Amino acid sequence: MPLRRGEVLGFNFDRMVVEFTMLNQDKVIQCAISTVVMDDLEGKYDVRPHQRVDQFMRLREAVEEQASRKFFDEQNGADRPVVLRSNDFSIAASIRRPHRS
C-alpha cells in the first residue's frame, strides 16, 4: 500500500527544500523535495521563495507518488526522512525536456 498524503509543512529557505509529510499507516514520514527538482519538473527557473509552496501544490501528485516509491524501494526506517533529489526524477525530467535534432 503506498504512502498516504500528509501535510505540507512549508518552504525551508536554509535547505532550499519544500518540506511535507506522508503517512505509512499511522506513522508520519518526514519528506522534502529540492527546489531544483521542482524547477526542472515544471520547467520554470524564476520561482520566488514565497511561491514555492504554490509550486509544490502544482506538482504535489507526482512528488508524493515518487516519495512513496522511494520510501518503499529504499526500505526507509520511520525515523529517516525521504528527500527527493534530481536523480529520483531523472526519467520524468528527461521525458519533459524537448528533444533537439
Q: For residue 98, is pLDDT > 80?
A: no
The whole-number pLDDT of residue 100 equals: 46
Left if phi > 0, otherwise alpha if psi is -120 to 50, otherwise beta: which for 75? Answer: left
Average pLDDT over residues 5-21: 98
Superfamily of structural domain 4-86: Shew3726-like (3.30.160.140)
One-letter amino acid for residue 1 of the chain:
M
- Single pTM value for the model: 0.84
Angle between helices 52-73 and 35-42 (to 10 degrees): 100
Q: What is the mean pLDDT of the chain?
A: 87
